[in-house]
Each structure stands twice: as C-alpha cells, then as structure tokens.
Structure 1
C-alpha cells in the first residue's frame, strides 16, 4: 500500500523545497517539518499503551504511543534531516543508520555502512527523502528484513511513479507514506520535476 499526502501544508512545503532559492539551512528545516507531519499521519493508528502521569490535578491514566516498539532508520545522508524532525516529536524512539550511495552510471545503490539496533518485534520507519528508481529503498528494505524487522514502513518526501511501483512489486508488504509523487523519471533516472539532489541541497555540497 502507498499513500500520498493530501495535506495542503505538506504540498506548500514541498514546493518550498523545489525552489532553487531555498537556502541549505531552510531546506533542512523544511524536510524536518514535512517529516514530522507525515510521521504523525503514518502513526495515527499505531498501537498505544496506558501509562500514568502526574498532572497539575494529580495522577492520570493516559494513552501514549508505544515508542519502544519503534525504530527510526534514515538512509544517509539525505535522510538525516527526516530523523532530526521526527525525533523532535518522538525523542525516546530508538534510531539506526544505513549509508547507501547511488552509482550515477548504473543508477544502482551500494550499502557501505550500517548501524541498527535489534529489530525483532519492532516497527521500522525507514526514512529516505527521494524515491527515484526505488533501488536503494528496495535494497534497504531487504537488508532490514534480514535483520528481523517485524514491520517496515517507508516515509518519503518525493518520488516517481516508476520507483514507487518497483518498491511495491519487490516488497508488497511494506507501506509507503509519501509527501508528493511527481510525474516521471527522465532518461538519466532523475525525478521530474523533482527538486535536485536532496543531500547536496541539505548540506550545501556538490
């Protein structure tokens, strides 16, 4: 299953990312904000547990998200601002990291670093801003399944229909929540109209 956000604020923020005048710091902050919104939409039906808190009128039983069942895993480096944004809302969620690089000639990805906590009985929120061909996302999901993740949910900012379809065919059990699905991939496997390289723009590199 995949679901594109219909939130008008999310669409507004995506268009801010598209604007070449958006400075790196604002670009990162915008990714953080979009990520917080789509994460809240994603977790709307996530399991809650009862806990007791101390309020100004005394103890109170309340429902809270079972954050100990969540693991946030960004695909570095572009996924890092997504993690930062979501951790502002869920500061006690555990995190892991995958570093992958796309070969610009073959459009294939390679995993060259990983650091993930135990994933058994955990729901993973896999954070990757861009879904172009879907190759890196497919490889990341395959790897996390091999580590025993109970459920994997992909959170993305921008994608092409071709990439979304590829991920769904490879991993039909993985839900995708995405801010915006663009028109297509071009002959160089870039998203159109897209927003450029999210990692370069977020960290002011070429």
Structure 2
C-alpha cells in the first residue's frame, strides 16, 4: 500500500460511518459527503507550493504566503465525482475543474469513455482526480491514462472508499499517482461493488437506482 494515505481524522471517520448506513437519506448523504470532502481536501493540498505576496494589514505592510489556486485542477469522474467536487472547491475556490465521463460496462467491468473536458494549459497544472469509490480501479486508471496525455505537473487520486483490488489496479498502471482515501475496505463482490462499502455512491447522491 505504498503511496496510499488513509485520512484517519476522527471527523472524517465519524462522517463516513454515518454515510455508510443504509437508512441515510440522499439529502443526508450529500451533506455528509460535502463535509467529508472538505476535510479531506486539507490533507490532499498539504504539500501545495506557496508563493510570497506583499500585502498591507490594518497596521503595516508585510509579505504573506498564498497558493495559486489557478494552477490546481480538480477532475471529476462523472457522475459521482461531482458529489465530491463542491467540498474540495470550498477549500480552493480558485481551482479549475475538468470532467471525465466514464461508465462501467456491466459485462466486462471495463471503463468506457463518453466525455472529456479539461482546462487549457494542463502542462502547467497540478491535477487532483476525485471519485467517491475506487472499486475495480478500471475507471480510475482509464481517467489517469487520458489525463497523462496532457502532461500535467502532477496527478493525485482522491476517493471516499477504496478496495484493495482497485488500489492494486491503479498503482499497477500508474505507480507514480498517490491515492488518498478515508478507508480501505475488505474486498469486491462478484459485481464489482466494495464490501462492506456503502452501496452505489452515484445512486445515493442523486437518489436514483
């Protein structure tokens, strides 16, 4: 599990447990996901570079430190990734946003791309890919494959839950991409769902089946 960071902050673990409950409403699930993703954003952005900015306080001039949010791109894997996005943008509102549309073929469990839209100048940007679930890892690996063609400065992957199989698949394809997650669950079932998991994140976010 090299290059995997499990965010064990008590508030993250508390909110994740509440989200796992099968009787949690869509409204509650969305709210908790937004809060949890905001908390995780602090860990993911911990090593972001800073630059000096001259400012004036009410008392005197000084030089402070700021991040250049315009150099950061949050990439949402549609559709469930959008549920993770708002919390991240709460922390870095100046970040750009990209979208990758992928669906999982139910027969093969392989990722099929149907949409791809990124900001310009990706070669000067740091990318954080967001998707609540890292299950088989096929969608994550396909997304990173596509993004790497644009030669960004760096790529990180952030998820709510990860299965060992998904971590292995993503790191086999992209050993240079660090993974941040709130929990590593036991395994996948025959349909590619994480166990014990929390069900289909997209369905629970949007109230669909």
Say whether the fold is shared (TM-score over 0.5). Answer: yes
- Return the match for 1:200 from 195, 199, 203: 203
Q: Is the 8 A contact 2:159 2:180 kept in 1?
A: yes
Instruction: For 1:99 and 1:57, locate their aligned partners in 2 and report how far apart those are by CA, in whole Å.
Output: 50
CA RMSD of superposed structures (Å) = 1.2
Calculate the TM-score normalised by the size of structure 2: 0.94
Shift of 1:33: 1.5
Shift of 1:58: 4.3
Secondary structure of the 1:174 match is coil
Q: Is the 8 A contact 1:29 1:81 kept in 2?
A: no
Aligned to 1:176: 179
* Structure 1 runs (4+) greater than 4 angstroms displaced: none
Segments of structure 2 that go 5 or more residues without pairing to the other structure are none
Q: Count matched residues.
A: 206
Aligned to 2:153: 150
Q: Is the 8 A contact 2:37 2:84 kept in 1?
A: yes
Calculate the TM-score normalised by the size of structure 1: 0.96
1:119-175 per-residue CA deviation (whole Å, 9 max, x = no partner) reads 112110000110110000000000000122121000110010111111111100101
1:54-88 per-residue CA deviation (whole Å, 9 max, x = no partner) reads 43334432111221221111111101121111111
Instruction: For 2:116 and 2:55, locate their aligned partners in 1 and report how far apart those are by CA, in whole Å.
Output: 36
Q: Is the 8 A contact 2:41 2:91 kept in 1?
A: no
